[in-house]
Amino acid sequence: MTTKVKPVLLCVLDGWGLRKEREANAILQAATPNVDFFDERFPHTKLETSGLAVGLPEGQMGNSEVGHTNLGAGRIVYQDLVRINRAIEDGSFYRDPVICAAIRKAKENGRALHLMGLVSPGGVHSLQAHLEATIRMAEREGVARIFVHAFLDGRDTPPKSALGYVEELVRFLDREAPHTKVATVIGRYFAMDRDQRWDRVMVAYEAMVRGVGHGVAGPVEGVKEAYARGETDEFVSPSVCKDASGVPVGLIRDGDSVFFFNFRSDRAREITQLLAFDRAPEGVDRGARPQLSFFATMTEYKADFGLPVAFPPDQPAEILPQLVSEKGLRQLRCAETEKYAHVTFFFNGGREVVFPGEERILVPSPREVKTYDEKPEMSAREVTDKLVAAVESKQYGLIVCNFANPDMVGHTGLMEPTKKAIEVVDECLGRLYRSCAKVGMAMMVTADHGNAEQMVDPVTGEPHTAHTLLPVPFWLLDSDFRGAKLGDGILADVAPTVLQVMGLAKPAEMKGRGLVRG
């Protein structure tokens, strides 16, 4: 390593936001002696993580994908949500060749068009307006049978809000879409797993392909009956809409065309693997899949899928990991399973690439629990063990890590487990700080978005399980910068700050500003 380059550990606390009020704030209610020490002794500031500051629509909450993309890029990266919204506004969406092809295949073959995805205004994985625009296209082009497979949210929206969104969709269909019906209603716990829990994903597959699930007269009834069973949106077991004869109205069959309208990739990959490819994942007894005429996705879920994509990746150049690599420095990414894609794929600008000198450590997330309130420590201590060894090896110019606990436990809406999660992360931060101080490595601590600081919805009084619009902290922990003045900023300012501290030049493509202002 070149001696003039100061090594940096960038630590992302997933879901750790700033909020002054102590009430319903798991972060302020937790014991955090190390973070308190950082506040007292080192320069710190706050960063905006939502809306236009990260390339999302104004007022749209940030998320881990968006956050890590901006962190690595050093500029505002306009997100797929904004790109799609703009295409709908200027009319180019309705001419998109991939969406047009999905519609044309169904029409030419006299088969059904299936539109699958998260029916939610959450804006993290999908947007209900995108589904409506696609339905308008298909209806206008004369497709005779259009079916919606509605996945329910409850994580990026309140846990019992899906009924209203499904009712809104049904009203839209009644008003504008005489050839469109909702075929299935499924909680995202089943349809949108990302940790290879294939037993869950197969539940969604069996509902859409074979009609296995609660038979219901319509989607609204499906959600109401799920609530009566005590299920909240995320965990709604599949309901299959049936006609008066008890026959499912819209199973996915041979020759049909499918368009998956989610724009976020990580939770769309597994159900896509089951539906779009002949070879089933290892150990999964799927049986014969429907031989579809066409399967397309809103965005690229995985480069080697090779599927038609309506909005291909917009990948920024001259990003932080690329620059570190070009300087001949070694870099390490480390996270547990739940956030591993974020410190690798998303931090690398949405690229399926490992830069020269880049190493990765994946620590498995706990699989023995259904939800992480049952194990709020998750794998944070194991991640920290790996990081301490890496820091003290003095081999890396840049280390990027993520602690998933505040976000993943915060999503449960349960205060006590989330406080425990915060305390474990604080403990881990203390260990990392001491290791960095010992070897002369600068440590930066920030977050990608808020969550754990708002555990109760202030309007409804219900558990708050979604991300927030609040800013996040940024600490610069290094003796050389103890008296530095930091300006407020956005996530895009973090990469330029890393370069500032390392002593490396910022390229013109990086529009973010270094946070060290004096």
Q: Which residues are catalytic?
A: 64
Q: 74: phi > 0 → left, psi -120 to 50 → alpha, else beta; which? A: left
Whether 259 and 99 have beta carbons less than 8 Å apart is answered as yes
Q: DSSP 3-state assignment of 179?
A: coil
Q: What does each C-alpha distance from 150 to 185, 223, 510 come to in angstroms?
A: 5, 11, 39
Task: Match 């910068």 to its residue by tokens.
Answer: 481
DSSP one-letter code for 367: -
DSSP one-letter code for 366: P
Tell me the residue type at 305. Answer: F
The closest of 151, 164, 91, 80 to 115, measured between CA atoms, is 151
CB atoms < 10 A from the CB of 421, how many?
Answer: 33
Alpha helices in 440-518 (DSSP H): 494-502
Annotated binding site for substrate: 125, 155-156, 188, 194, 264-267, 339
Whether 123 and 156 have beta carbons less than 8 Å apart is answered as yes
Tell me the sheet residues that pair with 152: 187
DSSP letters spanning 194-243: -S--HHHHHHHHHHHHH--SEEESSHHHHHHHHHHTT--GGGPPPEEEB-
The closest of 317, 290, 284 to 196, measured between CA atoms, is 284
Q: How far is CA 497 from the centre of its chain?
A: 24
Tokens standing for 149?
């497979």
Tokens standing for 191?
């349809």
Q: Is 229 exposed, middle or buried (0-12, 13-18, 19+ CB in 10 A)?
A: exposed
DSSP one-letter code for 66: H
Which H helix or E strand runs over 122?
none
Q: Give the whole-angstrom CA distance, residue 364 versus residue 9.
A: 21
